[in-house]
Amino acid sequence: MSLKRKELEVLKLINTGKTVDEILFQMETSERNLRYIIDNLNFYLKKILDKWIEKDRKKLLVHLSESELRRFYKVVYENYYILEQEERAEFILMTFLFVKDVRLSFIEEKLGITRATLKKDIDVLNESLKRYSLKLESEKNRFSIVGNEKKLRHLKSIKFLEYFDVEITPLDIDYIFQNVDRDLLSELKEVILNISKKFSVEFKEDFVKLMEIFLYVSFERVKEGHVIDRKVNYEFLVNTTHYEIARDSLEKYLDKELSYELVHITEYFISGGVTENIEELKESIEKYLDGLILALEKTFNGSLNYGELSSKLMGYLIPAIYRLKNNFSIKESGERDEIFTLVERYSKDESYLPEKLTENEVFHIAKEIKTYMENEKNRVISLKTLLEIVDRNSEILNREKLIEDLMTHYGKLIKVDIK
């Protein structure tokens, strides 16, 4: 006997007080299958905690504290749990990301599966790796993850963050992270905090953790001979004082001659808080926004409040261009409507920004524009402001001045139907 993910999910639902009908609906299972799951859970609950699920007409009753749940999961994961295909694919990914010189025969033994099953799991893994422009492939019977170097580092950092401090998981974390140099991680944290001081900014705690891991992963990849040697906005970044600070601060870990590597790292440090005094970047964004607003006005036959919308998008774009987490966000979400298509097409062809926007950023900009347009439609006219305008023009009526004042304050809310 053993337990799988679905059975543990049922236990969580029971422990939170869900009714039988709710569990059947949420888990998309039959009453007969649910009875089997309960019997299986009770076997292990009795064995591990000396507790069991009691059956009522409409409810299944068990009361487990947080500490009891944690203990139960820990024992189950270590002794009685069977990984499903998706989880096996995740374990294979983590193994090839973090463990060196792994043979397929070892993974087969570790997971208790056949070579045929392992090949199917690798196919599942490679399907998910497509969106990262990566692939698990073999060369002379040695498997490794290959593809876009930048995306590989991002993926490795994401997985590091996801699992490194997790105590309870079905994956064998001790095995996966066996070679991690924890002393180096602590050392890099101090380096990042010193760079923060030299940049005259205060990096947030989550950013420090992210950079700590990203630097660790990048230095490891460089040592293995995987070096980045191109960057679209290289000339801009290499001439900043931020580049000099990053280069000098990291000389113990990275050769100063590896300027493209250092430019990538500098870009990410800028994302941590440097949003002022980058005049060249501001000018580029203003030009980008000028063209975007014009494209919107042509498409929707109306004028937008350029100052208000542009200011909001400027506040997003300055850090967004260098935002490390945006680069780490591989999966995009949003509605591909008319506004998204317009922003995407314009952003693809424009030449002002030092780097092309990611799909996530296009989604965000489109969302801001839609929100703004909706707010403009629903804006309420202030009676107080309206009376003030009328009072200013009441003694000697200047019709043109009154119209000008009203248009200045209310713009598109007023239908211009006079000459």
pLDDT by position in tens, the chain (length 419): 689 999 999 999 898 888 888 888 888 889 899 999 999 999 999 999 999 998 876 778 888 898 999 999 999 999 999 999 999 999 999 999 999 888 899 999 999 999 999 999 999 999 989 877 899 998 777 889 999 898 899 889 989 988 998 888 999 999 999 999 999 999 999 999 999 999 888 888 888 888 999 999 999 999 999 999 988 778 888 998 999 999 999 999 999 999 999 998 998 888 776 544 455 667 788 888 888 888 888 887 665 566 677 777 877 776 555 455 555 444 445 668 888 899 988 988 887 876 677 777 888 888 888 888 777 666 656 556 667 777 777 766 777 777 777 777 666 566 566 65
Dihedral sign, Cα of residue 306, residue 309, residue 312, residue 316 = negative
**Cα 202 to Cα 51: distance, rounded to the nearest angstrom:** 50
Tokens read off for 389: 């305008």
Burial of 344 (0-12, 13-18, 19+ CB in 10 A): middle
Q: Using CA atoms, how far apart are residues 24 and 327, in angstroms rounded to an integer?
A: 39
Task: State how far the Cα of 366 lies from the Cα of 332, in Å rounded to an integer.
Answer: 13
The H or E element that residue 406 is part of is helix 399-410
Q: Which CATH class is domain 85-158+165-176?
A: mainly alpha
In CATH, the number for domain 182-271 is 1.10.1790
C-alpha span between 302 and 349 (Å, rounded): 23
CB 360 within 8 A of CB 323: no
| In 182-278, alpha helices (H) | 182-199, 205-223, 234-238, 241-249, 259-271
Domain 5-79 -> CATH class: mainly alpha
Spatial contact of 185 and 212, defined as CB atoms under 8 Å apart: yes
Distances (CA, A) of 273 to 268, 269, 277, 323: 10, 8, 12, 9
Candidates 334, 376, 350; CA nearest to 295 is 350
Q: Is this model's pTM higher than 0.85 or not? A: no
The one-letter amino acid code at 88 reads R
Beta carbons within 10 angstroms of residue 380's beta carbon = 6
- Alpha-carbon distance of 83 to 4, in angstroms, equals 7
How many angstroms separate the CA atoms of 235 and 212, rounded?
26
Q: How far apart are the first and last CA of the chain?
A: 85
Q: Is 2 exposed, middle or buried (0-12, 13-18, 19+ CB in 10 A)?
A: exposed
Rounded to whole angstroms, the Cα distance separating 419 from 319 reads 45
What is the spatial distance between Cα 102 and Cα 91, in angstroms, rounded to a whole number? 12
- How far apart are the C-alpha atoms of 324 and 272, rounded to whole Å? 8
Rounded Cα distance between 310 and 350, Å, is 17
